[in-house]
Structure 1
Amino acid sequence: MTCSSSISTYVQLDDIVSKCDDSWVTKQVNSEPAPSEVLHYTKKSDGSKCYDDKSGLKVLKIPIGRTKGKERKNRKTKTNIIGADLSIGAGSFLKRENKDVFSLQDVFDAVEHLVETSANKEKEKLRLQRSIISTRRTLLKLMLLPVNTCKSFAFDIISYKGLIILNYDWDDVQDLTQSLQNFSLETQRLQQYSGFAFEDLVTESSAADQASEYYSLFRSEYSNFDLLFSAEIDAATDIKGGPSNYVELKTHSDGCARSPVSISRKFLHSWCQTKLVAGKHVVIGFRSKDYKITSVKAYSTSDLPNSISLSLLRPSPLDTLSCNKIKAKYHHLVSWIYQTALSLSRDGELRQFKLVCNADHNEDHSISLIASETDLFSTKHKPALTPNWLKDYLG
């Protein structure tokens, strides 16, 4: 990543969180901003969006509960699922391109709809002038920084009149290429496809367009700014419920390939992803080497941390991690990003930054916020990062 720039500010992740003992973490957890769902929509296969429409929300076939009736139904449903081949149909599967995976277009469309349908448009516009707009994919990468200390990350940031736009720099995909370098392209494709196949296997949908997807826009209220972000929702236990009924669906290898490190990483990834949207359920389908389901297990976000061996993910004597500490560091980092980008922006003019998180092995990342007067974003970023309607709203 090259650009004509100067380092505007530099800090260690732990410097952002100066006191990180148990009492500090408890205080942060008790005061952390809770995400609330402000709108939802179904995205059809042609890209069109139907707001306040839950037809794209898939319902989990496997009941999550302890009553005898549910347990009998659960056993019967799982019997039909165990042994299913997740590789069937993979031949026609095409991986999504990074420009689509990390696009901000959906969240911008949702924010525009939120403002346009607000009972008080002016108030909603003013809130935008003290907000961060992002996606759950990007926020998840920030949250997992404390355990990804061997990988470097970069994020694109635009600051304009109090609004901060934050997105993962998908051109700088060192973390993706490194994590996949030991796998063949076919294995990569099969692993990605198996996740979609498992989702279809354990859910049912009433949507006429079976390829439709369900999204939510969430807002977390910090002390002096809001965080608006979109998230694609895999499924729900009940279509009538809210975020507490949302379910994160995952697959993972079983048998010898199910190492303590890999399963702890999967559990942590799932826990963070679910906590970001105030969800309570994770369902994992374990698969054999030939991609057949061997077991299906449901986890609650309250119990999942007990199954995560964080010492295996970050074997450093300098810092004893916990799930709550990871979450507390994330909230402080988000606040630091907003305050720092805002302080480096002159008179509310459009400013562009790179947030660079350099790997420091078993220690926390060194974080640099790099500002430049030149355009840091290619044409593939720019249409999504600076929509005209947003400039009009902010004046």
Structure 2
Amino acid sequence: MFDKIKLSVFESIVNNQNFDDEEPLLAEVLGSRKIFTQNPTEIGYFTQSGGQLHYNDTTGLGIINIPIGSTKSGYTKNKGQKAEKRQPLIGTSLSEGFDDYQRTSLDQIYSLDDLFESIHYLLNKGVLSRNDLKFLTLRRHLQKLMNIPLDRQLGQFNVIYWKELIFFTYDWENSLQKEECTYTYTELLLQYSGFKFEQLLTDSETISKYFTVVKHKVNGIPVIYTAEIDCGITKSPGLTNYVELKTHSHLLDNKLKTKNKFHHKLMKTYCQNKFISCKNAVVGFRSADFKLTSVKKYTDFELAKTLRASPIFLTRTCSINTDHIFQWYKLIISWICERKIEDSDECQVFKLSFKREGELMDSHLCFQTVKKEEANKIFKKVVPTWFREFCEAQ
């Protein structure tokens, strides 16, 4: 097993390089262009309201109020009822109501608690078996991993091995203490504009949130995670029904720098959608004074096509598209799961860190051992006592 994976592996992925027996993991994982051995599948869904999870409940799922695909609208009216006249979206302020905006705490955003409750529920219902559990995380954490070759910023993850399970979390306390805990007014306003855009497109007035529970396999490894859903085409569960909403600054010109920034946003959106087999995304463009200037809809096919035509450049000679970044994802997950743990009954914690080097392609992900005292502290914070006891009883 190699001790680090450099960004230069993208050169091998892009060039479809053949690997010899000296690099068995690379040969095994990258020898096939297929990403998933089992495509993302919805195994559960719930509404989060008042601190409680309500399973098989779509109350928190907002319905999009613009046409998507062949549908005219997510809304229907009763017979004899006059259609409601809607205010035009374009020109609407995305900053209205900002003064009352309350950010969710980072502890809540990155916590695995809802995932653990969902797994407990699905195991008891017979939807999952103990053999289905291997790599447990959130889509939010997986997205942070996918952002590494796009943002190329320093960051790290907690990788916890315990009883044949792997818990994977973004280490926000160390990675984001300077980045996110000191948000400027403008940065907070950017966050709020996305929240406001969701309100506009769904007429959502509820404070409930809606989540899907998803399972996929890469290289035979089951990965289970929850993902918060922005809205749906109808008030029904199902991955193909969900819609991802994004905001972006209005494209003022056709310069390469402007297009590259936008294509980075599209790549991140594609990755988020791919993890839940979501077929549709809607991007709202905002002006400098946070007014909605236009709205554009994308299917997953259109996102992939755009990024094949205009790939993301890592260097002048290496550019990546949607297939390449998910080949890299498959490699990273396989690499994490290949690590040999001597005593699986004892938790072992590692930091998976991204290190920048002078030469970009020498920048790499690497494992760092965490001392026992700190490892136990991380383990107890990430995995609550009740879930540890539940797993031990299985």
The TM tier, using the shorter chain, reads: 0.7 to 0.9
1:3 matched to which residue of 2?
Answer: none
**Cα shift at 1:78:** 8.7
Compute the displacement of 1:390 (Å): 3.1
Amino acid in the other structure paired with 1:63: P
For residue 24 of structure 2, what is the aligned residue in structure 1? none
Residues 357, 91 of structure 1: alpha-carbon distance in 2 compared, 3 angstrom cutoff: same
Do the aligned residues in 1 keep the contact of 2:311 with 2:319 (CA within 8 Å)?
no
What is aligned with 1:63?
A: 67
**Is 1:132 the counterpart of 2:115 in the alignment?**
no
Distance (whole Å) between structure 2 residues aligned to residue 294 and residue 219 of structure 1: 37
Q: Alpha carbon RMSD of aligned pairs, Å?
A: 3.2
Partner of 1:220: 216
Counterpart of 2:23?
A: none
Letter in 2 for 1:232: E
Give the corresponding residue for 1:29: 34
Structure 2 residue matching 1:81: 3-state secondary structure: coil
Q: How does 1:38-49 map to 2 (within 5 A)?
A: 38-44=43-49, 46-49=50-53
Aligned-partner Cα distance in 1 for 2:165–2:309: 35
Match of 2:126 in 1: 118
Indicate yes or no: 2:145 matched with 1:142: yes
Q: Deviations over 1:96-137 (max 9, x none)?
A: 222121111111111111112226xxx712332xx1100011
- 2:284/2:294 contact within 8 Å kept: yes
**Identity within the alignment, %:** 26
CA contact (8 A) 1:132 1:226 kept: yes
1:202-217 alignment, distance < 5 Å: 202-204=201-203, 210-217=206-213
Q: Which amino acid aligns with 1:94?
A: Q
Q: Please tell me whether residue 357 in structure 1 is matched to residue 354 in structure 2.
A: yes
Cα deviation 1:217-255 (Å, max 9, x = unaligned): 111124443101110000111223510121110111114
Q: Which residue type is aligned with residue 367 of structure 2?
A: L
Contact 1:261 1:309 in 2 (8 A): no
| Matching residue of 1:390 | 388
Are 1:9 and 1:369, in contact at CA under 8 Å, matched by a contact in 2? no
Question: Relative contact order: is structure 1 or structure 2 higher (C-alpha 8 Å, sep ≥ 6)?
Answer: 1
Whole-angstrom distance in 2 between the partners of 1:212 and 1:233: 11
Q: The residue matched to 2:94 in structure 1 has which SS?
A: coil
Letter in 2 for 1:164: I
Q: Is the 8 A contact 1:264 1:310 kept in 2?
A: no
Q: Which residue of 1 aligns with 2:100?
A: 92
| Aligned residue runs from structure 1 range 303-318, under 5 A | 303-308=302-307, 313-317=312-316
1:250 alignment counterpart? 246
- SS of 2:315's partner is coil
Q: What are the Cα deviations for residues 142-198 of structure 1, in whole angstroms up to 9, with x where unaligned?
A: 12322233x1120011111110000000012259729x99xx711011111111111
Deviation of 1:344 (Å): 3.1
Determine which of 229, 232, 249 is the counterpart of 2:228: 232
Query: TM-score, normalised to structure 2's length?
Result: 0.83
> How many residues are matched?
368
Map of 1:213-362 to 2, 5 A cutoff?
Answer: 213-256=209-252, 259-308=258-307, 313-317=312-316, 319-340=318-339, 343-360=340-357, 362=360
The answer on whether the counterparts of 1:9 and 1:370 sit within 8 Å (CA) in structure 2 is no
- 2:169 aligns with 167
Distance 1:315 1:125, change over 3 A: closer
Q: Would the alpha carbon gap of residues 347 and 377 (structure 1) be closer, same or farther in structure 2, given more than 3 Å must change?
A: closer
Structure 2: unaligned runs, 5 residues or longer? 18-29, 77-83
Residues 15 and 388 of structure 1, relative CA distance in 2, 3 Å threshold: farther
Instruction: Tell me which moved more, 256-265 or 294-303.
Output: 256-265
Amino acid at match of 1:160: W
Output the amino acid matched with 1:266: K
Over 3 Å counting, the alpha-carbon distance change for 1:315 and 1:154 in structure 2 is: closer
Distance 1:59 1:378, change over 3 A: farther
Give the distance between the partners of 1:32 and 1:267, measured in 2 at CA: 25
Structure 2 distance, partners of 1:18, 1:275, is: 23
1:64 Cα deviation after fit = 1.2
- 1:4 is matched with none
Using the size of structure 1 for normalisation, the TM-score is 0.83
Q: 2:114 aligns with which of 106, 111, 115?
A: 106
